[in-house]
Amino acid sequence: MERFFKLKEHNTKVSTEIIAGLTTFFAMAYILFVNPAMLSQAGTPDNPFPAGAIFLATIFASFAGTAVMALFANVPYAQAPGMGLNAFFTYTVVFSLGFSWQQALAMVFLCGVINILITITKVRKMIIKAIPASLQNAIGGGIGIFIAYIGLKNLGLFSFTADPGTYVDLGGTIVANSSIVPALVDFSSPAVIFSVLSLVLMAALVVLKVRGAVFISIVAATLLGIPFGVTDISRLGIESNLGQSFAELGTTFGAAFGPKGLGSLFSDPAKIPLVLMTIFAFSLSDTFDTLGTFIGTGRVSGIFDEEDMQSLENSSGFKSKMDRALFADSVATSIGALFGTSNTTTYVESAAGIGAGGRTGLTSLTTACMFLISMLLAPVVGIVPAQATAPALVIVGVMMLSSFAEIKWTEMEDALPAFFAGIFMGLCYSISYGIAGAFIFFCLVKVLRGKAKEVHPIIWVSTALFILNFVALAVMKA
């Protein structure tokens, strides 16, 4: 194990890596229950998209992608079907555009193929090399805001108020316009009080530098949540109907390639431009979500150090860790589509495990194994409340804000892109939108200052693609 994962070289040990892997898993385990609930809405009575099958597809896609990340790239990142992308799959591609869930899976598979091609042909590498240090720091700090916001939201500390008539109900999901106003909740319910105690507990353990602070806090908070009525121990008695889920998996496995999927996707010439725009939207968001996660967390933690970045720039093949990590990520989406789930991507919640000390693939291998085990222990996994894991994201978000220290805030050339990276990532709940905001304003300030020649051609092309994506989404929803 030492020889394979090079633990001493990365200044870590087996126990630290395992605890970090468990921390990552519990920080992202919610996807096991949220993804089936969201994607199953894309089915209809005569064409059901069974939740049990999606549950298994989520597990298998997460295991496969994370295991490849562990064994091939040796980095502590975990993969699973992405939040945001599954919402796009259900509410835009199926509900708004009228595609079947099988056709949507076919588009996800093609998106994965595209990601593999742009990784093999070094397009992803070229994008990373083209991003200047100021933008990389902006992305890192922006991800810190994003992660911390996810944590605070999962703690249940926010309430949102929307004006009457300014929101729509999409099958139980409420979509409001910009009139919605956030605020702190009243600290009057046991659940909110528990959230505050959970956050204070983890902050105290981290400040005191207690070994395994994050994981200890998650376990302690889960137990503390029992008297507060937050940890639902009644789930322990629930038997998971694994046999039925496997039976349902026959419905989704390979459905992307069937007559209702790839077989009919391009059958209507009039819809081909819409199909291509949708695949493009899937691919762009998936690509930049992953790049943002690697750049943001890798720089702060040292997982992708200067030596590895130099290797990325000068080597051929898959010699650097970043090269291998990008390839591992690229194959995961197609694997997920094969089983029956939306885009699989590198999870920003991996930062929780990195914050707990994870530095090698042993962390992600632990997370991958936990996904497999969760088939049998779904009720046990399900009792860990979001309020127990959310503080880890807040703490890691605080740590990642250190990237902003490298920004020259008195220089608007640096300040504007950094500001919009952070604001768009957090408030738009999207890493790719944050990168889009950073790129667009980076190009804008350079043009206004007469320094357009300093912008790398790839940044220009990426910015144009982001703008094209916004136009395409507007057209698709019109």
What pLDDT does residue 103 have? Answer: 97
What pLDDT does residue 313 have? Answer: 66
Spatial CA neighbour of 31 closest among 19, 39, 42: 39
Residues of the chain with pLDDT under 50: none
- The residues pairing with 344 across neighbouring beta strands, listed in sequence order, are 81
Spatial CA neighbour of 433 closest among 422, 443, 444, 442: 422
What pLDDT does residue 316 have? Answer: 64
- The residues pairing with 183 across neighbouring beta strands, listed in sequence order, are 159
What pLDDT does residue 104 have? Answer: 97
73 vs 70, 324, 364, 423, CA distance in Å? 6, 5, 10, 31
What's phi and psi for 47, nearest 5 deg? -145, 65
For residues 111 and 273, what is the distance between their CA atoms, to the nearest angstrom?
Answer: 15
What does the radius of gyration of the chain's CA atoms come to, in whole angstroms? Answer: 22
